[in-house]
Each structure stands twice: as C-alpha cells, then as structure tokens.
Structure 1
C-alpha cells in the first residue's frame, strides 16, 4: 500500500468517526471556582468593583449555560464572542490581582497568612483562567472541535500527544486523533495549564502559534514570579 493510499484511508477513518459534544460542566465548575476565588481574594481593590466583575461574568455564564445547558452542541456569533469575552475578562481581572499581590509581597504589606492565601487564590485562578482561554481559542473552540471535519477546523494552537499517537502500540493508538477522532476538552486544557504553571514550561502539550506561545509564556512567568516572591517572603519571616 502506498503512502498516499494510507493517508487517504486514515483521513477517511477520521472523518467518519463522530465526536461526542463536550460536556458543559467541567468548564462551568472551573469558572465558578475561579470567580469564587477572585470574589473572596484579600485585596485592596474595592469590594464593589470586584463583585461587579463577578456579577458580569455570572450573567454571561448564565446566558451561555441556558444556550447550551448540558452539552456544547450549538454556537452562534454572540455565544462565541461571549465565551471568549468571559475567559478574557476573568484572566484580565486576575492579572490586576496578580500585580497587586506582587506589590504587597515586595512591600511586605499584610500578614503572612493573608499574603499566602492571596497568592494561592491568584495562582489557582490563573491556572483556571488560562485554561479557559486556551479552551475557547484552540481550533475554533469546543463546538467547532466536535462538529467540524478535520480539514474544516481552524489552525491548531496546541499539539497534544494524542495528535501523534496513531503509529504507537495498538492500545495507545486506539485513543489517537487519527484513529478515533480524538479532540481535546476542558480537562485537557486545565491539565496542561496546571503543568505549565508548575513546571514553568510546556510538558506534554506544545504551543504552535505565536498567541499560544505568548499566553503560555505569560502564565509561566506569573507562576515563577509569584513562587519566587512567596519563598523570599517566607525566608525573610524565618530570618
């Protein structure tokens, strides 16, 4: 069998496999956790302003849940924009909280417990928020990834291990993108956002586009700076 024939059969097999729509709940639960952490963050940002951000996000989230209550099967122009706006708003609000936390650590403002809690909340929200941004941007978002044929998908921002496992041992290859039509869901983006924030570099998932590399670089940098300053603050307290 020629290489071209093998590629054609593999492409046909991928197109024939029906991908199940992604469940709404993993991303929904993660979003609520991020909003809760941001709302109760020890901060000098006025409570009204923080709650206003949370309120706007909750309203947007409610509209999206009503539109796709259980599985992500429908998408319109407004829902696509709302998904992106929600993720970006949570990320942007947390970056302000991140800068404030860094300044408090540098200026030794606040007690150790409060600073440690604030750092943990900012870090956790960062992991969730970056995962949401990756999730809504990559390959056109969750609806596109499940409903469009491979050749119709927008360019991928990330390369997952499953995208290269089609020629591995059989029990591994059965879960690959080529054989089973595998596409990433929110859990996959959360995992590599978490690992990127802890390792300060890509682990099993590689960024492919400039925007993906810049976003992952920002997340790694934020995690590194936060950890370094928390450790420095702890050492100064011990001293």
Structure 2
C-alpha cells in the first residue's frame, strides 16, 4: 500500500485544522486580467460598433476596478456592501456594453456596411470573446455569494448555489475522484471554473457538465447562448454571401 496516500480520517483532520473559511482567498490577478482583456477588446472595436466615445466606457470600467484592487490587492478575503455593489456594477457595465455592440454588429451586417466584411468579421470574434469573459465573470460574482463568500464564509452561511459542478456530487466516486470533491476536500469553484462554463455554453449553446440551478443562472446562460448563436449565424451568413459572389 502507498504510505503517501491520505486516508479519509487524515483528510477530515486536515479540514478541521484548515477549514475552507480560514484559508487564503482566491487570487485577485486572474479577475483583473480577465477584466482588462474585456476592456482591451472593446477599445479595438470598429467605430460603427461604439455607441459612446471610445474611451468613455473603458475609463469608467477602470475607475471601478481600481477600488476593487485596493480592497483586495492580492487575495480576495474582504468584502463590504459598497465593494460588492462596485464589483457587480463593473460586470454589468461590461456585459451591457457588449450586448449593445452585438446589436450594432447585427445592424451593420444586414445593411450596406456589411461590405466592410473583414473588419466586421473580426469584430464578431471580439464581441464573442468578450461575451465569454463577461458571462464567466458574472457567474463567478453571483454563485454562492461571490468569490469572497465562497472561501471566507461557513458553508452553512452561503446562499443557495446558482450552479452544480461535478465536484459537488463526486464524493461517492472512486477514491482518486472523491478526494477532490466538495464534501471531501472542501473544494469551491474559482474563476477558471466559471470561464470554462462560459466557454462551453457559448460554443454548445447549452450547459455541459455544470448545471444552472437558479432562475438568474438559467437566464444568464440563455442570454449568452442566444448572443453566441446570433454571432455565429452572422459569421456563417456573411461567409455564404462571400462564396455566392
């Protein structure tokens, strides 16, 4: 027998010594990089997909990001009502602006502006990529009270889950799988898990291994699926139009 493998008793004792809510919070850097990527994608959109001067929205988004970094510069362990409002406002601002850009893209593709095929096809890719980022951030901010609550609060104090991950139901699987389950290892999802959910939802147009549970999670996934489908249909329609010429 491998003496290095921990028994369930050892794992339970470890969790008692280091409960999830006493551990270090989730790293701030991945969320900052994701937000900056969304801002950069907006900055390089074609002019006809902008509804405000180019630097207005990115400037406002960066202004909202700065206090969030100040509150939790390295690890996300602190949260108050104001920081929660600011973080949700930031995600909502990026999401709404991207949906408006999608609407402008649809208008441009079905009018004579579609003659500018190359730039608009690139813009469609930018809008699609921004959608993946912003919906991933939205899932991350909302599920179980947000990234701070997921690591700092007792499980009994967490709001109802918006998503059910595979790890949430793997505690009765074979040992090497069960070791990573929520019940056994006190696992909680991070930003990467929510970005993966967003990627699969925007490509398959439906949930894959992670199921939405709450009405708001289902609504967000539905909006993302429809937006991604519209973007894909626009690109396909334009490609067919080019081939027919």
Residue 6 of structure 2 is matched in structure 1 by none
1:145 aligns with 2:153: no
| Contact 1:91–1:126, Cα closer than 8 Å, also in 2 | yes
Residue 4 of structure 1 is matched in structure 2 by none
1:23 aligns with 2:41: no
SS in structure 1 of the partner of residue 26 of structure 2? coil
Deviations 1:99-154 (A, max 9, x none): 00111112241411111111000000010011111111110000000011111001
Q: Which runs of 5+ in 2 are unaligned?
A: 1-10
1:127 aligns with 2:135: no
Residue 36 of structure 1 is matched in structure 2 by 40
Residue 82 of structure 2 is matched in structure 1 by 78
2:53 to 33, 49, 52: 49
SS in structure 2 of the partner of residue 155 of structure 1? coil
Residue 205 of structure 2 is matched in structure 1 by 200
1:17, distance to aligned residue in structure 2 (A): 2.9
Residue 174 of structure 1 is matched in structure 2 by 179
Residue 220 of structure 1 is matched in structure 2 by 225
1:62 aligns with 2:51: no
1:98-117 pair list within 5 angstroms: 98-110=102-114, 111-117=116-122
Q: Distance in 2 between matches of 1:56 and 1:140?
A: 25
1:151-170 pair list within 5 angstroms: 151-170=156-175
Q: Distance in 2 between matches of 1:13 and 1:215?
A: 37
**TM-score normalised according to structure 1 size:** 0.91
Q: Distance in 2 between matches of 1:206 and 1:149?
A: 23
Q: Distance in 2 between matches of 1:64 and 1:171?
A: 37
CA RMSD of aligned residues (A): 1.9
**TM-score normalised according to structure 2 size:** 0.89
1:45, distance to aligned residue in structure 2 (A): 5.1
Sort the Cα spacing of 1:184 and 1:153 in 2 relative to 1 into closer, same or farther, 3 A. same
1:94 to 92, 98, 103: 98
In the alignment of these two chains, the number of paired residues is 230
1:50, distance to aligned residue in structure 2 (A): 3.4
Q: Distance in 1 between matches of 2:109 and 2:48?
A: 13
1:47, distance to aligned residue in structure 2 (A): 7.9
SS in structure 2 of the partner of residue 204 of structure 1? coil
